[in-house]
Amino acid sequence: MMLAALPVSEPLLQREDRDGVATLRLNRPRQFNALSEDMLAALQRALDELSADASVRCVVLAAAGKAFCAGHDLREMRARPELAYYQALFARCSQVMQALQALPVPVIARVQGIATAAGCQLVASCDLAIASDTARFAVSGINVGLFCATPAVALTRNVSTKRAFDMLVTGRFIDAATAVDWGLVNAAVPEAELDAAVARKAAEIVAKSPAAVRHGKAMFYRQRQMALDAAYAYAGEVMARNMMEEDAGEGIDAFLAKRIPK
Residue 6, pLDDT above cutoff 50: no
On the CB side of 99, CA atoms within 13 Å amount to 21
What would the pLDDT profile of 54-81 be if each residue is shown by its tens digit?
999 999 999 999 999 999 999 999 999 9
Q: How many CB atoms lie within 10 A of CB 125?
A: 25
Question: Which of 190, 206, 222 marks a domain boundary?
Answer: 206
CA angle 187-12-116, nearest 5°?
A: 40
Question: Both 215 and 190 in a single domain?
Answer: no
Range of the domain at 239: 210-256
On the CB side of 128, CA atoms within 13 Å amount to 20
Task: Indicate whether 243 belongs to any domain.
Answer: yes
User: pTM higher than 0.85, yes or no?
Assistant: yes
Cα separations in angstroms, 34 against 66, 100, 120, 234: 12, 18, 11, 39
State the pLDDT at residue 8: 53
Question: Both 104 and 62 in a single domain?
Answer: yes
Question: Both 137 and 198 in a single domain?
Answer: yes
Task: Indicate whether 5 belongs to any domain.
Answer: no
User: Which residues have a Cβ under 8 Å from the Cβ of 81 and sit 6 or more positions away?
Assistant: none
